Each structure stands twice: as C-alpha cells, then as structure tokens.
Structure 1
Amino acid sequence: MGLRPRHPAGGSRKLRLPQVVNFDWLHQMTGARLRADILAGLTGAAIVLPQAVAFAAIAGLPPEYGLFTAMVPPVIAALFGSSLVMVSGPTTAISAVVFSALVGEMEPGSPEFVSGAILLALMAGVIQLCLALARAGRLAGFVSHSVMIGFTGAAAILIAVSQLGPALGLASTSAYGIIDRLMAVGANLSTTNPIAVLSAAVTLVTVVLFRRYLPRWPGFLIAIVAGTLVVMPFGEAAEGMAFVGALPSAYPVFAWPSLGIGSWTEMLESAFAIALIGLLEAIAIGRSMAHKTRTDFDANREVLGQGLSNVTGSLFQCYPASGSFTRSGVNLESGATSPMAAISAALFLVVMVALFRSYVGLVPIAAIAGLILYVAYKLIDLAEIRHLARTSRTETAIAALTFAVGLAANLELAIYVGVLASLAVFLNRSANPVLAVGAPDASGDHRTIRNAELFDLPECPATLILRLDGPLFFGSVDTINARLRSLARQRPEQINLILILHGVGEVDLAGVELLEIEAGRRRAAGGDLFVVCHYPPLAERLRRLGLAVILGEDRLFRNKGAAISATVDNIAPDTCAYCDARVFAECAARPDRRIGGTV
C-alpha cells in the first residue's frame, strides 16, 4: 500500500541517536551578540556570587560548595541543554531538599554531610540521564502555556517577597512561605535600615532607567555599582548592613564522590525527589524562557543536559543543581542571546573569586535585592495574562489555580497541580469530541459541507451527515454513542449516516466496535453507514482494525462526493419521489413525483 517506511535493500532501520550537543547558536554568533552575552555573563556572575553563598548555607554546606555548584554545572547544562538563556546552578528548592535529606543522619557542614550532598548530585544526575534515555522529556508537553503563566506569576511574587527583607535591611529569618515572609517583614519594619533602602532604591531606579533609555548599556552591572557606591559615604553608619562579605579562595577540583555515605535506600529516595524537582524546575523555566525569546525548546534534551551537569558536577565537588528562575530572568533581561552568557558567567565567577574577592565583598545585599525586584517585575507578562483572560476561561482558571498553589504552598506543587488540571481538561475534551450535523451549502461554486444547525441548511430527509472532530477511542465512545442515539430518536427517518472523520487523531478497537454497532442499527432500519476518511494513515489504521471487513470496502471513502453518491443510491426510489429537499446534486437523477415518478 506504500504506507510502510521503506529501507535500503538488505538493510535494517538504524537507531538514530539524538544530537547531544547543538552548536547552531555558535554559527549564528556575531560580534554584537558576543558582547551582549559577555556583559550578561558579567552581570550574572555578580548576581550568582552572593546567591551561591546563601544557597550553600541553606543546604547546610560551607560557602565554597555553593560557588563550585555555580561554576561547573552551568557550563555543562548550557552546552548540552536546550535553552539558549536558562542558567543552571544552586537553587533554593534543591538546597532545601538536600538539607532535609541529610540533616537527620549527619551534622550540617561536616565532611560526611558534604560527601552526602555530592553523592546526591551523582545519584540525581544518573536518574536524570535514565529519564533522558526513556525520553521522559515528552511528559513536559503536559505543562501547558496556561500553567507556565501561573507558575511564572507565582515565582515572580515569591521572588519579590523574598527580597523585601534584604531591600529594607532587615535581619534574615527562617520564614519560607509568602505569608510567613510578609509577616516577618511586617513584624520587623521598625528595624528598617534607611541606608539599605537607599541602596536598593538607587539600584532599582538605575536599572529601570538604563533598561528604558540605554538598553544596550550593561544596566544591571551599572546598577549594582551605583547601589554599592551610594552606601560608601555613610562610613561606619553602614556597618550594620548586610554585605556579600569575604569569599573563600577555593576552586573545584576533580575527586570521585564517596559511595559509602548514609543509607543507600534513603539516599536514592531523596535523589529521586531531587531529580524530579530539578527537572520540573528546569523544564518549566526553559519553556517559559523559550516563549519569551520565541525560540525552540527540546524538553528531552534539557533533561539530558541537567543529568550531565549533575553527574559532572559531582565529580568536581558540587551538590545538586537545576535551572534558576531568578538568574535566568536576569540573564534574559541583561541581553543574553546564547549559552555563551551562562558560560561567561561561570568563567567570570572564577575570575571574581580570584581577583576581586575583597571588592565583591563590599556589595550590599540590599543592592542585589533591588536588582532582583526588577527581575521579578519583568517576569510577569501582563499583556499575556490579559490575552489569556479574554480568550479562554478554562485556561485562565488553570493559570489562576497554578498561581494560587504556587503562592499558598510551593512552586513544585504548583506545577504538579497545574499539570493535573491541564490533564483533566485534556481528558475531558478527548472524552467529549464534537459531533456536528452537516449539510451541503449550495451558495458556493463547489459543494461544501457546513454545520447545518449553525447555518440553517436544509438536510436530506433520509440521510444524516455527521462530522467527528476528536478521537474515536475507548474514552470517547460513550459520549459519541449517546449523541448518536439522541439523533436517532430525534430523526428516525434519517436511516442513512455519512460519518466524516475529519479531526480524528486516534482510533482504537473500541471505536471500531462502536461503528460496527451503529452500522448494524442503521442496516436493521433499512439504511447503512458510510465512513469518509481523508487521511490515508487513518484509513489504513481503520482497515487494520477490521472496519473494511465489517462495513465492506464499498462503504469506506476518501472524499465526501463518493460517499454522498453511494448514499443516494442506497435511498429507496419511493423516498426520493416524495422528497422536495433535493439537497444533493445526485438527487437530479432520482425519481420525482412531479414528472410522474420518472427521470
């Protein structure tokens, strides 16, 4: 039939391995893009430096391990992942999971604790590589655009709230949720540091002005410098503020992870959770960034990149890493165009630790907070939210649900809930396909079947035309059967049925059995079932399921005209003789009582 793939004679189909590294972005590199990426990398390094130290503390690790994780995994993920602008490295969620996984068995900061965190990176990376081989990235298709809008909005609010305390110069707290953080800020407002507020405000205003009026300038870096310089004249009065502080002079070196740490059963459970959360974050961020940059995103390749980054990182004393929403947002807003920005950020971080440790230590945390507040604001796409609200109530509800769960619980749970809600909507739509009544529209030059009820078109008294838009499978047969029975009760004289399988993407044995039952009912009433299938692979699928044997080859058609002609021939002459509708062109050749029952 010519439907099967053909292979060279004497050979077999070879397994085509996916392209592991894609350097298409390198071929498109220009001098302007390289400069933009380098400047974005410089800004990213300035941002990740204090964050890496803070995240290491959250994970219960010495600060240098946060720096290691910000140097190695981002490079591997940028080279082997799919996103052009996403930045990987240490994150809040992963750091918190690492701490909770190890704190019951080991002392935070101890050599055993460090070895356990590195082993978790290796385990999580191996799990992610296995998921990549299983092409689990395809499951990211269930993370709909509406889920991403809700996820991004919740992430932006959470990021902004997390920076209110540092921007006001308040002492750090252990509060995690948005309500707890807002309450902690409210309870400590009396201790607000005016100098910290000034630093955050100067940084925020500077970046806004540069992004608006001088977008080609390194506005983020200039803003950080401005937020730092404005504090210096205050001298001792600013000593109570939080600064990045002195950095350790340490760099990642190759070392095999210790495999004899902790209980392997418990470690594997924690590693699996870390692997899933990390992939969930990375895929969600990658798709969000791809939407903003209007570029392609391969979720399965990103799974591979994240797995390789964690496995490689574990060999260089790194703890588990994933995509970072904050740093990816900064990277994008800084003008990054390719993975070179993330690579540059890692290299600049190495240089900063080597040469400018003392200067970087002078940067106020409030200045970093002001910059991140701007990034959080830019993450919210108000135009996209308004467009979604105008076009789909269902998708708006999914986005709102994802947003609410993200604020009330956490971002990981928000993704799960959003995906489940999208899946529920998908299943509901699949189980309730559209089965529309059609009729010929004689107003045009060509015969067109339109919605008879919508366009108020006359129908053949003996023939019902239905168009199915949706899958014909076990999940939808009950709905389709109920619709067929309802139409049969309403139109008992329309004993012939022309079923046009227009938008049927899936058909299974249950669907074919439904057609067999319907054909039996129609034939028992003196009519028949005629199936129109334009798409050759679908027609071949129906034949393989036995529909041609059940109905007969003369009841399967590739175009509506042939089906209508066969249907008209199946109508009793007496029926046509007393019919005034004459909706088909073929009706002209049928008996007409007005001319004595002859042609």
Structure 2
Amino acid sequence: MSLKKLFPFLIWLPLIKDTWKDDIIAGITGTIIVIPQAVAFAMIAGLPPIYGFYTAMITPLIAALFGSSFHLISGPTTTSSIVVFAVISKFANPESEMEAFISLAILLSFMAGVIKLVMGFAKMGKLVNFVSHSVVIGFAAGAGILIAFKQLKYVFGIEVPLGSSFYEIIDYIILHIQETNLYVLGVALGTLLIAFVIKKIKYISRLYMLIAMVLGSVLAILLGGSLHGIETVGNVPSNLPPFKVPDFNFEDMRLLTTGAITLALLGLVEAVSIARAVALHSHQKLDNNQEFIGQGLSNIISSFFSSYASSGSFTRSGVNYQAGAKTPFSAIISAIGLMLVVLFFAKFASHLPKPAMGGIILLVGYNLIDFEHIKKITKSSKREFIVLMVTLLGTLFLELEIALFLGIIISLFFYLERTSKPNIAVFGKNSADKFINLIRDDSAEECPQLKMIRIDGSLYFGAVDGISNYFAELYDKNDYKHLLIIANGINFIDVAGAEWITHEVLKWQKRGGGIYFVGLKIISQDVLKKGGFIQTIGSQNFFKDKNTAISTIFKKLNKEQCLSCKVKLFNECKV
C-alpha cells in the first residue's frame, strides 16, 4: 500500500503553497458560519451547546486529513443530531439524566465511526454508486430550499417553533407575517444585498461572504441591535474539548447497536451525497471508500474528545466551496479558527447577529440549486425527472434519509425496468450487401431459414421473462429452425439467464435446428463455462465472427429450400 493511500492528505499537501490564501479565506468564513450552527445542532441532539463546538472543532480536522473530498466539511448536522436524540432518548432523559445522556451520545459516535471505518476497509464505497446523478441533484436542490426556509425565522424575526418541518415553517410564517420585525428583516436583506454587490466586484469577490457578515454586523449595531430585537449568537464557551475515553459498557453498546448502524449508514449516504453534489461543480474525482474511512476515523477519534456523531454538512460544505476553498486545508483552518475564537474571541463572536447569518445562508441555499442540470434532466428524460422530483420533494416534506432512499429505490426500479426489456434488433442484408437492422433499412431482406437477431442488454434474472416471451412467439409463429444471435451487445449473463439460454437451445435443437452465438464477450461466457452450460449447448455453436458462423450454419440449411429461394442472401447461396 502506498503512503498516499495510507495518508491521503499527502495528495493535497503540496498544493497548499499555491492555494493557501483561498483556503484561509474559506476557512475563516466557515469558522463564522459554524458558530450558531454548533449551538443549534447540539440543542437538537439534546446536548449542551458546548458539545456542538467540540464536534465542530475535531471532526472536520480528522475528516479533512483522511477523507477524499477537497470541499466536504464534516461536523454536527441536522440529520445526525436528530438521530442521536432519537436513539439516546430511549435510554436516558436529557432533562433529568444529562450525564448519562452525554456518555451514551459519545459512545454512539464511537460505534457509528467503527461501522463506517469497517465499511471503508471492506471497499463498500461502491454502494454509493447506486445513488444516481438525478438523486444527487434533487437532494442538493431540496436541501438548498430546506436550508433557506429554515433561516426564515432569523430573516423575519418570527419565533418559528423549534423542529418545524418545511410546510410548518411556511404555514407559521404566513399566519404570523404581521409579527415581522422590520429591523431584523433589514439586517438580513441588507446582508444579502451586500453579498450580491461584493460578489460582483472583481478583486474582492472571493471575500463576499466574510465581508457581508462583517458589514451585516455593523448594520445591526447601527439599527439598534438588541434594543430592536436583533438577536446575536449569544454566549460562546471558552474552553477546548477535553480528552476523555468513552465509557465502553457492554450493555450500553448492545442497546446502541441498531442505532449505531442506522446512524452510520445515514451519515455515510449524507456525507458522500454532499461530496458528490459539490464535486459536480468542482469536477473532482472522489474515492468513496476513502471517504468512508475518513468519516469513520473522524467519529472514532472525536469521541475521545467529548464529541458526538457527525457527518458532512450541506451548508458548511456549500459555503466552503463558494468561498473559494481549493483543498481540505480550509477545513483545518476552520477548525483551528473555531478553537481560537472559543479561546480568545468568544466575547466578540457572541455579538454576531443571527439575521446576518440567515441572509448569508439564504444565498448558500440558493446556490445549491443546480438550475442548469435540472433543466437538462427535465428536457432529456421523464424517468430521471421523476427521480429528481421525488428526491427533491421528499427532502422538503420527509426526513432527509427517507428522501435519499426513495430516490435511490425509484432510480433502481427504473434501471431494472429498463434492463428487464433488452432491445432485440432483427438483421437482414441490404442492397449494399451489408447486414443491417431492418428498422434502419426496410429494404433489407432476411434469409427464409436463418433468423438473425442482435440482443442489446444483459441476460439476467430480471430480463429472462421478457426475452423468453419474444423467443416463444418467434418459435411458435414461424417456421425458422435456425437462429443466429449477434451477442456482442450482451454485457453479462447470470445463472438464471444461462439456464434459460440452455433450455431454449435444446428446444430449437429438438426441432432439427439450433441457436448459435457470434461475438459473445468473454466476461459474458464466464457463468456459461463455470456452470457447464457450454458443454450442454455445444461449444461448436459459439463463433468469433459472423462470416464463419454463417458459413458453418449454411451447411445445416435445407438445400432443397435453398434451390427455390429467390433471396440468395449469403455468399454461400450464390455458389
């Protein structure tokens, strides 16, 4: 194993000499963004705010060093926080048993990390390949809308109940729109407008988020700040995460096993989906297995520093990329920046206005919607559009993990439906003496005794039923005894497909003819050889080229019928 495989940070470390300025800017921006989020997500998980900061300090650092994505930022997220609370609250009440609750949350993080790490070492990253492009686009768009709408309470200054869903947020804001705090709205929209303007200025465009948040803070002070209900981030604790070994209690581990598996699977799908969504823009090639390893190590190591379960963050990853990050060094800067803020600038960070944050995150959410790709999908494929919309709407109205799984299941269903009906083209010879699909040239003629077809698709259990119906009709409604299958379009054959082929060949042989194959790929012959199917079919019925196949089959044709034939399709017919 190479050092770069063992220590993936060696791949991007040499790049820092050219990218450090961009990475530092993105890292500082990420530090500011994570402050209110760390507090909010810890509260969602039922934990004191300080544990959100601990998680936001340690996990992005480890994930950056051992992950694959150059832009993914790990840390506390909505999904991981909700799952942690749902799992732990079954065994400990956060209000009356906080110490036990914290201990179980940290142990759960360790267990989920081990599962992620094992999946990475087991090369199970390919599982994420089943998440189609349309699912990623839909998930990104839905998450962008969701992120933006969850900021509306800070934009309008309306106290939307904690944990409200997408439609509950809309309903509540419509019903309480008269309660809008115009000072809060002014700060949010002012920050958003500043961000748009700065982004248009060439020399400082990369700093648009950072400058907008600073000027948004100044605007909040000018408008009277807390005197007019403009909330700030509030108290930021000033201590670093302590080293503490998780409580490895066997009984607790047994109770948490199911929850750890769920948390690990959802966290991996979320993290890799986010990494892929960003990679659509950055065009970076990802290593899913390495991402699994990075996510696993980040959860394991951070659990020894009082952190709870983490995953990839859509908001912070989006901000990181849009702020100009080039390498994972930006995530390290962000983590170190948060440590410095907590140690030395907690007092100043506490004055950051929430409406300014809300305005910036509105812009981030909007930028996550890939209008160009959505337009292409809408025009090119109805099936892909359905997958995209199901994922998008599911992200808005259902849990994030359910939306992802729905999108994956539907895209797999469409794939199986499509592959279960292999295209079968009938071949003849045209006036130019070329074999061609009859659909392409209706003047092409067929041999009365030898049917020639091309199968485009794999012969597996899902396709057997559909293709056997075609063969049954061909056998029952025609007098053909010989069938030549142009097989270069068959990608693979499984046991069900091999058994069906063997049965079909024997049936045609009993009729006094046979089925022959030309150009069957070596990989497609694998099951046929290992299962002994080729011996039953007859190895002499497999040919490498069409001319040899036709020359051999011609000898088996009814010569009396050949004499009266007017088509004279093959060269052998003219001799």
Residues 273-305 of structure 1 show CA distances to partners (whole Å, capped at 9, x for unaligned) of 221221121121122122221111222221111
- Aligned in 2, Cα 1:517/1:98: closer, same or farther, shift over 3 Å? closer
Match of 2:158 among 170, 178, 182: 170
TM-score when normalising by structure 2: 0.94
What residue number does 1:317 align with? 306
What residue number does 1:434 align with? 423
AA at the equivalent of 1:180: E
Secondary structure of the structure 1 residue equivalent to 2:485: strand
How many equivalent residue pairs? 571
Larger CA deviation: 385-394 vs 468-477: 468-477
What residue number does 1:5 align with? none
Residues 418-472 of structure 1 show CA distances to partners (whole Å, capped at 9, x for unaligned) of 111122122222322222212245537xx5x432133212111111111112221
What residue number does 1:115 align with? 103
Q: What is the CA-CA distance between 1:512 and the residue it aligns to?
A: 2.5
What residue number does 1:53 align with? 39
Q: What is the CA-CA distance between 1:263 and the residue it aligns to?
A: 4.0
AA at the equivalent of 1:487: L
Match of 1:285 among 271, 274, 291: 274
What residue number does 2:79 align with? 93
| 1:328 and 2:317 are equivalent in the alignment | yes
AA at the equivalent of 1:208: F
Q: What is the CA-CA distance between 1:346 and the residue it aligns to?
A: 0.7
Which ranges in structure 1 are unaligned for 5 or more consecutive residues? Answer: 1-14, 590-599
What residue number does 1:594 align with? none
Match of 2:220 among 222, 227, 231: 231
| 1:193 and 2:181 are equivalent in the alignment | yes
Secondary structure of the structure 1 residue equivalent to 2:483: strand
Between the aligned partners of 1:167 and 1:393, the Cα distance in structure 2 is: 37
Superposition map of 1:585-596 within 5 A? 585-589=571-575
Q: What is the CA-CA distance between 1:231 and the residue it aligns to?
A: 1.4
| 1:391 and 2:391 are equivalent in the alignment | no
Tell me if structure 2 keeps the 8 A contact 1:127–1:272: yes
Q: CA RMSD in A?
A: 2.2
| 1:406 and 2:395 are equivalent in the alignment | yes
Between the aligned partners of 1:282 and 1:16, the Cα distance in structure 2 is: 25
AA at the equivalent of 2:355: A
What residue number does 1:532 align with? 518
- Aligned in 2, Cα 1:554/1:306: closer, same or farther, shift over 3 Å? same
Larger CA deviation: 237-246 vs 356-365: 237-246
| 1:466 and 2:453 are equivalent in the alignment | yes
Between the aligned partners of 2:396 and 2:156, the Cα distance in structure 1 is: 22
Between the aligned partners of 1:131 and 1:540, the Cα distance in structure 2 is: 28
Q: What is the CA-CA distance between 1:238 and the residue it aligns to?
A: 4.0
Tell me if structure 1 keeps the 8 A contact 2:68–2:288: yes
What residue number does 2:93 align with? 106
Tell me if structure 2 keeps the 8 A contact 1:116–1:261: no
What residue number does 1:133 align with? 121
Superposition map of 1:103-502 within 5 A? 103-104=89-90, 105-108=92-95, 110-214=98-202, 216-235=205-224, 238=227, 240-260=229-249, 263-441=252-430, 443=432, 447=434, 449-456=435-442, 457-490=444-477, 492-502=478-488
AA at the equivalent of 1:137: G
Between the aligned partners of 1:532 and 1:332, the Cα distance in structure 2 is: 51
AA at the equivalent of 1:461: P
| 1:35 and 2:21 are equivalent in the alignment | yes
Q: What is the CA-CA distance between 1:24 and the residue it aligns to?
A: 5.8
AA at the equivalent of 1:559: D
Larger CA deviation: 346-355 vs 510-519: 510-519
Between the aligned partners of 1:136 and 1:439, the Cα distance in structure 2 is: 46
- Aligned in 2, Cα 1:550/1:374: closer, same or farther, shift over 3 Å? same
TM-score when normalising by structure 1: 0.90
Larger CA deviation: 104-113 vs 323-332: 104-113
Between the aligned partners of 2:210 and 2:3, the Cα distance in structure 1 is: 42
Q: Percent identity?
A: 36
Which ranges in structure 2 are unaligned for 5 or more consecutive residues? Answer: none
Q: What is the CA-CA distance between 1:93 and the residue it aligns to?
A: 1.5
Between the aligned partners of 1:175 and 1:66, the Cα distance in structure 2 is: 17
Residues 532-583 of structure 1 show CA distances to partners (whole Å, capped at 9, x for unaligned) of 1342333354333334322333211112221122222222222222222222
Q: What is the CA-CA distance between 1:122 and the residue it aligns to?
A: 0.9
- Aligned in 2, Cα 1:392/1:251: closer, same or farther, shift over 3 Å? same
The answer to which structure has the higher helix fraction is 2
Q: What is the CA-CA distance between 1:80 and the residue it aligns to?
A: 1.3
Secondary structure of the structure 2 residue equivalent to 1:438: strand
